[in-house]
Structure 1
């Protein structure tokens, strides 16, 4: 097996650009990050493959900016697997595809039972692709040869996979569907920052009272600031379970905090002053968080609909099996036909009148693609009419 080489100088980078330009056809791209090890989600290795050119493994931090590569082949079709995971870190270094083929998304639209890269490669090409280094710390330098071989294979077979999936899309008459989905993925807006991100602290739901939540908030924010400062995954500094243990115990002195066996992690003692200051802020603040975050105008969970809005509950219960039947006929997961959140939103707040055209417009406004509206609007409108004609179900009485 030939040793894989990492390109980490501008001279080698410039030489690789000439080789890639001399290749032909689509460009396969993948990235390796250090999730679980680093705070950032930046790429540490970027792999590129093009027929007639070969595989190129770029040390992303060493090269820094890839504007030249993007300018050179930006108009070509870029082939990625699960592109939504890689596009943010690619754009961060100047790579911004204009034409996309996502092999994972294509596999979903084709109804393949497993859509991980290894499973799709095996299904498409009959080649077993080992995935033993997928969770490695790719910020490591130098990178071991076994890791580089793994990274190279991730792109070396991707164009062949793309060609096979494209043929299947043609056979199933789903090429237009796929193009709309790929385009939507390219143009998707970045997710807005999560409100109250500290509430995602694993296990915090078992805490009671606003004061405990205030302590949890201060500890989480303090850990997050240290994680950003050191570019370390927060859980590697102090695990969630340790922070939650502190919240539940609410130690009243720094010595009591230091004596907690459950308070573990590489920074639990070296940053003891930081954690104690966070606890003190939580114990003294007058700005206490709400026990439950307000949902505002968001659609409530469907389990509450029968009592709160029986008409909406009836619409959703009629529409869900109708949409599931269409997804089954098309041979794809229901969430790829229509996001459940979109269906819930239209059932909760339907247009008037509830015609297929109006339903289609409401679906489009909620983010559904044209093909999705065409495939589902008529059936959803019919389901809503049937729900109204049958009458909303009586709320179940409590025994």
Structure 2
């Protein structure tokens, strides 16, 4: 029985377990441990389990995960994220489709705080859906906007997706954060243009909201200043070299807590709930990372990456053609697998090919993370769609999927542009 055969069976079994909704970490633990046991013996499997668990748990770079998650949870619990929406709403809410555009901008701002697409969709769904319903927005447009806007959380830094990619591929977290800024702004702009086009073609989808005077606009912007300042300080600190990503996470979390305490919106009860939620999320991420360090050696021992690399090189598509093939595979997998599972399952196979063909790993990381975003609103899994459904219980699931379709197409066009113009992703990292 060849190692390649064992590896293929192992990955097929992992895919089956994931489709059966077995938790990602447990599925990877089981397949990785048993696979290493078969290929390299029980002692190697148990030794790797203990050593990788300790090494990963003591990795200081991973502190960014709980700190950025805590920053986002505190910002959400204290109403700071709502103020971003209020500022955008006061500015463009009175134009046709303005409430939907304000929701997308609010999602982008919240994404810059939380780094989580699920948190963005859930928070903005609770905030914005009621407002759009009050002004007779089409449920298809309103739910589609929230589901699609929430995906910005995995691209606009600080992004948990970039942190996981950096750890799995040994790339710079700071450079990946910088690489995601322009693509994130580009995608947000594409969403705004999509809303404008839809509401131009069908004005009944997004009626005009109430007008606000200069005083109301000023008050809304004043409320959003602290949050915008935190985003500028953390991301600007990384870009200027003042902070490492870990230090920026600590500064951001401390500032959000300080502002909440000063404004008296952060009580001990609110902080306890935010901290507990952050611990649960962090534990889930850590389990997946530890499991990833079990499955990756198994994949390496099976020699699957070398075989896939040999196959793709033999097809002679060239670097560009091979990249398109890999991204197409990610788009298909995104219809069935959760994002982190996709990263852990595929990067050990595709990364050697990417490096061999001379494709920039930072650029590749941005493209991969964007395809993961598309998976968040792709049927049948589309976790953001189900998150929005949990808030908008009166809207049919099929209508939400129809609502996200124009935004999925906008994401596909953005992906094509980023593939065609690599400098959109690489310009800011090159200036660091």
TM-score, scaled relative to structure 1: 0.22
Q: TM-score, normalised by structure 2?
A: 0.21
The structure carrying a bigger strand percent of its residues is 1
Q: Which structure: greater helix fraction?
A: 2
- Structure of greater relative contact order (alpha carbons < 8 Å, 6+ residues apart): 2
Question: Bigger radius of gyration, 1 or 2?
Answer: 1
